Amino acid sequence: MSARAFDLVVFDWDGTLMDSAGHIVRSVRAAIAALDLPPRSDEAIRNIIGLGLEEAVATLYPEADARLRRRIMDVYREHYLNAGPEAERLFPGAEAVLAELAGRGYRLAVATGKSRRGLERALTVTGLWRYFTTSRCADETRSKPHPQMLLEIMEAVGAVPARTLMVGDTEYDLEMAALAGAAGLAAAYGVHSLERLLRHRPLGHVRALVEVPDWLARHGVERPWGVLGREGETCGER
């Protein structure tokens, strides 16, 4: 029997486990309207999903000073946190996927652009906290795509990059994985297009969250020479 290639599977939250992109866009739009800011397109707002909130606001409004950026963040949080439970939902099968992977012996973690307060709220509301060994948030370390978030997770659980898989729906997730020396699995059902995700040479991609266990069963085993080929290449092409 082939040995399992990964010990640690790290999930992004928004757009990977939680279908929250629409709620994020609406909350950003509410902050823009409340503060009478220059408008931004839905595409521009969706593009910053996955970054830490400070980095996201700075990307949307690079001309804003520190005081205005802080105000934007505060108003955004107010709208985001005060929405009803119908504003965001887990992707179908999320808990079943995590339960299956945990049952197979994978250690699971979360690396997210959310704040610690936001993630703890989400984990409590969904009940998914029980599946994760550890997590890192953008307000307690460096924001994606800097690799520090993922490196800290690996250090916390004693995992090595070569046996770590990052599952995410944005370029920031996959770039972070590459910079940390870990593998990436593109969640092509989330925020960024598959074309954008493939620029970072993930090992593969899934079109729905429920495909992750089957993908790992097919591809998450050690290959000859101890390496896994990136999507679009064979092991010998690396």
What value does the mean pLDDT take over residues 25-45? 96
87: pLDDT strictly greater than 80: no
Query: How far apart are alpha carbons 204 and 105 in whole angstroms?
Result: 21
Share of the chain above pLDDT 70, in %: 89
Query: How far apart are alpha carbons 219 and 123 in whole angstroms?
Result: 29
Give the domain-ending residue among 52, 71, 86.
86
232: pLDDT strictly greater than 80: no
Pair (69, 187) in one structural domain: no
Pair (136, 31) in one structural domain: no
State CA 90 to chain mean position distance.
13
Identity at 87, one-letter amino acid code: A
Pair (50, 145) in one structural domain: no
Give the domain-ending residue among 86, 119, 142.
86
Give the number of domains in the chain: 2
Residue 130 belongs to a domain with what CATH number?
Answer: 3.40.50.1000
Secondary-structure percent of the chain, ordered helix, strand, coil, rounded to 5: 50, 15, 35
Share of the chain above pLDDT 90, in %: 84
Q: What is the pLDDT of residue 217?
A: 92
204-226, pLDDT tens digit by residue?
999 999 999 999 999 866 543 34
φ, ψ for residue 191 (rounded to 5)? Answer: -80, -50
Residues acting as catalytic residues: 12, 14
Pair (115, 149) in one structural domain: yes
Residue 73 belongs to a domain with what CATH number?
Answer: 1.10.150
95: pLDDT strictly greater than 50: yes
Pair (164, 97) in one structural domain: yes
Question: In the chain, how long is the greatest CA-to-CA distance?
Answer: 61
149-189, pLDDT tens digit by residue?
999 999 999 999 999 999 999 999 999 999 999 999 999 99
Residue 232 included in any domain:
no
Residue 196 included in any domain:
yes
Per-residue confidence at 88, pLDDT binned at 50, 70, 90?
A: confident
Q: Which residues contact 173 (CB under 8 A, 6 or more apart)?
A: 12, 16, 50, 111, 144, 145, 166, 167, 184
Domain of 36?
21-86
Helices (H) and strands (E) in the chain, counts: 10, 8
Smallest CA-to-CA distance from 30 within 90, 88, 73 is with 73
Residue 233 included in any domain:
no
Q: What is the pLDDT of residue 4?
A: 84
Calculate the dihedral angle through the C-alpha atoms of 40, 168, 94, 74, rounding to the nearest 10 degrees.
Answer: -40
